[in-house]
Amino acid sequence: MKIWPTVKLIIISSVALVALTFLTVDAPVKVEKKEINLINLPKTVELIGFENQEFNASSIIKKNTLIFVGNHESIVIADEFERMLNLPTGKLVIVSNVSDAPWFIKRWQAHTKNTKLKGEKHTPWIYDRNGAVRNFLAVPTSDALKYFIYKVNNEGIINRIYIGKVKVGTIDGKMSKEEVQKNLSLAIKEINYK
């Protein structure tokens, strides 16, 4: 049995995958500390459930709304966050921060997962493929476990009011519903305080 051709194939495949990943990841944009105002909102956004369409961002992110930004693992708790808040449609916007992922992950794996997470709900769910919303909100990291909550006040100024973190493996169900609720109750307490 010749093992060398198999080893060669594995090495070449690994190198090709690393090269493809390296070539398709965008360089991160430097996050600046400045006031975040709706005036500077990106022009358009892509929404889960409306593939190959762009929507006017100002019709989605408006005054007096909350914005939940989730990364790879933390996005899983967005559904429970929405349920616990029980806000009217349009008062919560969910942003899936996928801009640092390679294009093939954004296109297939992450998009499919986000579509399943959103389900049939009417809450606007932004699929931030190009990072425009992330950069606008000055999200400080794309750490897979962290999530961020922003509040848009009635003057159109956006403030980050909470940073949370989920457990490793949350995407695979390693966090119980009770743990998720306990985690989110801290965020909701902060929202109600602000």
Domain boundaries, the chain: 28-193
Residue 60 in tokens = 């989605």
Helices 78-85 and 111-118: angle between axes, nearest 10 degrees: 20
Which homologous superfamily does the CATH classification assign to the domain defined by 28-193? Answer: Glutaredoxin (3.40.30.10)
The chain-wide mean pLDDT, for the chain, equals 82
According to the model, what pLDDT value does residue 169 have? 87
Summarize the confidence of residues 131-151 as an average pLDDT.
91
- Of the listed ranges 4-8, 150-154, 155-159, 178-182, the least confidently predicted one is 4-8
What's the pLDDT score for residue 65?
Answer: 94
> What number is the average pLDDT over the span 93-122?
65
Report d(CA 71, CA 164) in Å as an integer.
Answer: 11
Give yes or no for residue 120 having a pLDDT over 70.
Answer: no
Query: Which residue from 115, 129, 122 is spatially nearest to 46, judged by alpha carbons?
Result: 129
| Segment among 36-45, 84-93, 121-130 with least mean pLDDT | 121-130
Which ranges constitute the DSSP H helices of the chain? 4-24, 78-85, 103-104, 111-118, 132-137, 177-193
Q: Dmax of the chain from CA atoms?
A: 72
Q: Which amino acid is at 120?
A: E
* Tens digit of each residue's pLDDT (9 = 90 or more) over 45-100: 988 877 778 899 999 999 999 999 998 888 889 889 999 998 888 899 999 886 66
107 is written with which tokens?
A: 């296109």
Q: Average pLDDT, stretch 22-41?
A: 69
The length of the chain in residues reads: 194
